[in-house]
Chains A and B, each alone.
Chain A
Amino acid sequence: MADRLLVAAALPSADALARALDGARHAGYPRPEVFSPHPLAELRGDGLGRGFGWALVVALLVAGAALLVQYYAAVGAYPMNVSGKPVDAWAPLTPAAVVVGLMAAGIWALVALFRDAGLPRLQHPVFDTSRVDFGADRWYVLAIEVKESELPRLRSWLKGLGVEEIEVIRP
Chain B
Amino acid sequence: MSAAQGGAGARVAAVALSARRPWPWTLGVVASVLLLCAYLSAVLVLFGDGIGIFGNNIPVGWGFPIINIAWWIDVGHGALLIAAGAVLAGDRWPAIARVSESIALFAGAVGGSFAILHTGRPQYVYFLFTYPNTLDQWPQWRSPLMWDFFAIIAFLVLALIVWLVGMLPDLAVLRDRAAGRGRRVFYGILALGWRGSHRQWAAWTRARRLLAGIGIPLTVACTGISALDFAGGISAGYHSTMTPVDAVPAAIASAAGLALAVILILRRTFALHDVIPLAELETLGKILLGSALAVGFFALYEGYMTWYGANAFDRYRQSLTLTGDFAPWYWSWIALMVLLPMLLAWQHLRRSPGLLGLIGLLVNIGAWIDHYLVIVTSQERGFMTSSWHGFVPTVWDWLLLTGSVGVFLCLLVLQARLFPVLGVYALRAPAVLGRGHG
Interface residues of A (CB under 8 A from B): 14, 21, 33-41, 43-52, 55, 59, 70, 73-74, 77-78, 80, 82, 85, 89, 92-93, 95-96, 98-100, 102-103, 105-107, 109-110, 112-114, 116-124, 126-127, 133-138
Contact = CB atoms under 8 A, between A and B. Distances in A.
A51 B210 contact: yes
B40 interface: no
Identify the interface centre among A33, A121, A135: most chain B CB within 10 Å of its CB: A135
Given A51-B207, A92-B141, A113 B199 contact: no
A135 B132 CA distance: 53
A136 B202 CA distance: 21
Contacts of A92: 141-142
Closest 8 CB pairs of A and B: A116-B203, A103-B154, A120-B192, A113-B207, A135-B177, A137-B7, A49-B206, A92-B142
Contacts of A78: 138
A38 B430 CA distance: 9
B204 A117 contact: yes
B429 interface: yes
A19 to B, nearest CB: 13
B435 interface: no
Contacts of A106: 157-158, 161-162, 211, 214-215, 218
Given A38-B201, A38-B426, A135-B1, 16 more contacts: A21-B198, A33-B197, A41-B431, A44-B205, A44-B431, A73-B141, A96-B151, A99-B221, A100-B150, A103-B154, A109-B210, A110-B161, A110-B164, A113-B204, A117-B199, A136-B6
Interface size class of chain B, counting residues whose CB lies under 8 Å from the partner chain: 35 or more
Contacts of A107: 157, 161
B260 interface: no
A143 B46 CA distance: 60
A103 B138 contact: no
Interface in B39-92: 90
B206 A46 contact: yes
Given A102-B221, A103-B154, A135-B10, A126 B195 contact: yes
Interface in B182-225: 188-189, 192-207, 209-211, 213-215, 217-218, 221-222, 225
Nearest to B17: A135
A49 B210 contact: yes
Contact of A70 (B141, B155, B173, B426): B141
A112 B218 CA distance: 19
Contacts of A40: 198, 201
7 contacts: A39-B205, A51-B206, A73-B132, A95-B144, A102-B214, A106-B161, A106-B162
B90 A121 contact: no
Contacts of A123: 193
Contacts of B425: 37-39
Contact of B198 (A34, A118, A120, A137): A34
Interface in B126-180: 130, 132, 138, 140-142, 144, 146-147, 150-151, 153-155, 157-158, 161-162, 164-165, 172-173, 176-177
Nearest to B202: A43
A159 B364 CA distance: 60
Nearest to A102: B218
B192 A34 contact: no
B12 to A, nearest CB: 10
B200 A117 contact: yes
B197 A136 contact: no
Interface string B420-438: 0000011111110000000
B197 A35 contact: yes
A127 B195 contact: yes
Contacts of B431: 41, 44
B245 interface: no
Contacts of A45: 90
Contacts of B141: 70, 73-74, 92-93, 96
B196 A37 contact: yes
A118 B9 contact: no
A161 B77 CA distance: 50
A46 B205 contact: yes
Given A49-B209, A55-B214, A103-B158, A73 B138 contact: yes
B218 A103 contact: yes
A36 B198 CA distance: 7
B205 A52 contact: no
